[in-house]
Amino acid sequence: MFRPGRSNDQSRIRLPKIGVAPSMKELQGIYDQARENRGREVELVWQVPGTYKTYSVHVKFDRVTPHPLWNIWENNGRESKMVWRFETSDINMIYDVIAMLDVSHQKTTGTVQTINNGGSYPSGNSGTFNTTNNPFQSPQQAYNPNPPGYGGAGSNTGSFMQPAGSTSSQSNPQVSRPGAGINDGWRSVADEAAEPSGQGAGALQGFNNSGSFNSSSSGSFAQNFSSGFGNQQTGAFSQQLMPQQPVQQPQMPQPQLPLAQKPVTQSGTHQLQTPDKMPEGSLPADFFSEAPATIAGLPKQTVTIEGTIQQNPLNNVMTTIGMQQLTGKLEISGDSAVGHVYFENGLPKDAQTSSNRGDEAIKELVTWRSGTFLFKPGLRTEMRSVEKSLQSSVMEGIALLDQLKHLEKAGLMYESILAQKQRNLGEPELRLMLAKGHPMDFNQQKDIYDALASRPTFTDLLRDRPMDQTQWAPLLFNLLYCGLMEIKAPAASRGGALDFLGDGKQVIQNLALNFQRHETGIYSSEALLYFMEYEYYRFEAYNWPLSLVIFDLYTKRTSLSNIVEADALPPEALQIAVQRIGLVKRPLDMLTHFQQNEFAILMPNTRASQASFVANRILDALTVTPLIPGIDKANLGIAFGVANLPSDGEDIESLLQAAAHAKNEAREGTFPIVLARNSKRD
């Protein structure tokens, strides 16, 4: 295909042009062909049906890297442009990207069957309704590797046309009748009118005896959209979206009368007339009225979508909402965070998670791999934070998810040690090695690379340089891919600074017993004030920031009067909690009691953002698994208040008050971690 500035490359392998988007089998084929012909680019072009537009996918392995580079180009007949570029071996991701590209095209250029002069669909003898060109197909419907053949002749039931070889509507998981129930994946709940009696299996409500669907305003058809978003591995989601405008009700079956009583009109159809004499015991004489029929609209239907992220990834969920042009709020509850996206006619308007808002929030949601979701139709918001298109944000989220999977496969976890693989590199050498990675800000990458010289753990890196997932994942992936970083397993144990004393070390450690409460083994609140005084002097002398985290840790139970009451943790559960907190905090961070049933962590030389990151890590550590049988995140109460000097005060008293006030706000509110808001944040 023609591209400005690109010469005819004889090393390229051009496959025959196809008329539909490539299937999974075809993508696997060009992947294998590119792998067998390293250094040569394999190209596959397909035509968008009914338009002059074409797409082409290019894949090429170089002679060094293990994963190929994929490019997808779009040509509208006048110019061509690149719409996607990524390096991956995940064929499923390429398949999803191609599906979304074509579905986006179908959404704006989907075709409808030809209408005859009578204002209805040509029904023939079968009375069937063809949905092959349904512009609201899901990606799995539009890009089935073995697409079902929808024939031109159907059954006599007035139903959707069945794929070749199927015997009933139930045999096709991608086509559902109105009133389809809950399936393994998504769930569609609709308040639907009862199906008219007298129709066979798979019959559609709203079709008259001739197979056409009449509108109340023009006597022509009203579209009946059927959308199924199938997941071949985890189940299928099917929903029926009925038209919102009033449509003519299907006519009731009339009594069969002799042909002599059915005069033929000029149009060739039979007109039912009232017989001169009614048989005794038949319908009343006034049953057949000459009054015009009353046209009633079908009841408006609402669609509720809910399910689990494990069965239906959120990129599929949001793409389907966009294709259906729905309006409402998508609520997502993950393992450790919640989020939402407001849609207006299928377009995202506002999105938010615990750490991101707008386009970045949608990218983050695509990376969530567990949790639940619920779409509430009709809910709206005046907030607007989303600027990019849904397709663009979802693609970026898929790329981010692929990067996270690569990092996890390489062994990345919070306790992993990150080290420089290439040491003592000058700036020119570093720029040269980073050039083969994804384009990113060089200074950001250099800052992270320099930080790896001290071999920090992943937790230490994020505590010293707070970043959310959408920021650190591309940075670490680039360093790993370019051969500048290696991920090492966590250290089995960490030596103490006084290990050189041998047995004499125990004498020094016995002094700590004077600061601890014997029943818990945790430093007392008096010890907190004692050590806080010295850290305050360091703050005054060297302007080192000082952070304090005060938190509640308790079990929740509901009384007989439906009041939530708090109980202290059992000693065995508290002991497990202390051990988990010790794995997250630094050795110089001090865990202490605070007042009666509260706790505190003193963090020297720590900014508020760094302290909030540690609080998040502690929250994850305490809720990832039950502390003891019967105490898990469902009944475990945790509330963190974070305060900092100099941001939230000028002395120890103001620091304590700010942290305690933030903790009380967290306990009464919906977010378990609250930063004091007395002053500006760092």
Amino acid 79: pLDDT = 81
What pLDDT digit, counting tens, does each position of 291-342 carry?
A: 454 444 444 455 668 899 999 999 999 999 999 999 999 999 887 778 999 9
How many Å apart are CA 372 and CA 185, to the nearest integer?
12
The 10s digit of each residue's pLDDT in 95-139 is: 888 887 766 655 444 443 333 434 444 444 434 334 344 444 444
- Partnered with residue 599 across adjacent β-strands are 551, 593
pLDDT tops 60 at residue 193: no
Q: Does position 263 have pLDDT exceeding 70, yes or no? A: no
Domain boundaries in the chain?
Answer: 13-109, 304-404, 413-488, 501-675
* Cβ contacts of 351 within 8 Å, gap of 6 or more: 339, 340, 341, 342, 357, 358, 359, 361, 362, 365, 385, 386
* pLDDT value for 393: 93
- The pLDDT of 42-62, averaged and rounded, is 88
Give the global pTM: 0.49
203 or 379: which leads in pLDDT: 379
State the pLDDT at residue 303: 61
**pLDDT tens readout for residues 538-591:** 999 999 999 999 999 999 887 777 777 888 899 999 999 999 998 889 888 999
What is the Cα Rg of the chain in Å? 33
Which is more confident, 628 or 285? Answer: 628
Helix 91-109 crosses helix 390-409 at what angle (to 10 degrees)? 170
According to the model, what pLDDT value does residue 670 have?
Answer: 80
pLDDT of residue 162: 40
> Which range is least confidently modeled, 45-59, 490-504, 513-527?
490-504
Strand 13-14 versus strand 42-47 pairing type: parallel
Give percent above pLDDT 70 in the chain.
67
Contacts with 131 (C-beta within 8 Å, 6 or more apart), sequence order: 150, 160, 161, 175, 226
Per-residue pLDDT, averaged over 40-45, amounts to 91
Q: What average pLDDT is seen over the chain?
A: 74
Residue 602 has pLDDT above 90, yes or no: yes
* Least confident residue range of 183-192, 278-287, 387-396: 183-192
Closest by CA position to 211, among listed 250, 253, 259: 250
Q: Which of the two residues, 156 and 679, has the higher pLDDT score? A: 679
E strand or H helix at 189, and its extent? strand 187-189
pLDDT average, residue stretch 174-190: 38
Q: Return the CATH number of the domain spanning residue range 501-675.
A: 3.30.70.270
- Lowest-confidence region among 6-15, 209-218, 464-473: 209-218
Which pLDDT does position 532 carry in this prediction?
94
